[in-house]
Amino acid sequence: MIVYVDADACPVKDIIIEESKKYNLEVVLIRSYSHFSNLIEEEHVKTIYVDSENEAADYKIMKLVGKGDVVVTQDYGLASLLLAKQCTILHHKGFQYKPEKMDTLLNSRYASAMERKSGKRTKGPKAMTDQDREKFRQLFKKTISF
């Protein structure tokens, strides 16, 4: 099992790195060059940089992920594609993407995009709370500990 992280805007990277170390799991952070960092990660963490173009990180994740791996992303489109790869996909707010929920998630994303395209303002995501972080931590621990 490898843990892949759509890392550019992931607010739970620290939790992922901390918890995966306890199980000696490899973590792969996928980042665009526009988010380059000189930070030296722990031994079990690898960073792969991709072009800053739209979807470049998604394409790289799709290419690398295999059956049984874990992916952390907030991208509903990427999550829907990854479901066919028989991996576990988690959202940083502490829920697992499931096939039966994808239509609802993708439809809400589409509706919001159409509103923005027509000039209306839509609300962005709610700020992460300590409760969200703990919910993610518990789900992540449960996912990687079996």
> 71-130, pLDDT tens digit by residue?
999 888 899 889 889 999 999 999 998 877 766 665 675 566 666 677 777 666 678 889
Residue 121 located in a structural domain = no
Residue 89 located in a structural domain = yes
Residue 78 located in a structural domain = yes
- Residue 68: CATH number of its domain: 3.40.50
Residue 115 located in a structural domain = no
3-state SS assignment for residue 4: strand
Residue 113 located in a structural domain = no
Quick one: CA dihedral 32, 35, 39, 44, positive or negative? negative
- Confidence check: pLDDT of 20 > 60: yes
Number of domains in the chain: 1
Residue 10 located in a structural domain = yes
pLDDT digits (tens, 9 = 90+) for 38-71: 777 889 999 999 988 878 899 999 999 999 999 9
Residue 103 located in a structural domain = no
Range of the domain at 42: 2-98+128-144
Residue 60 located in a structural domain = yes
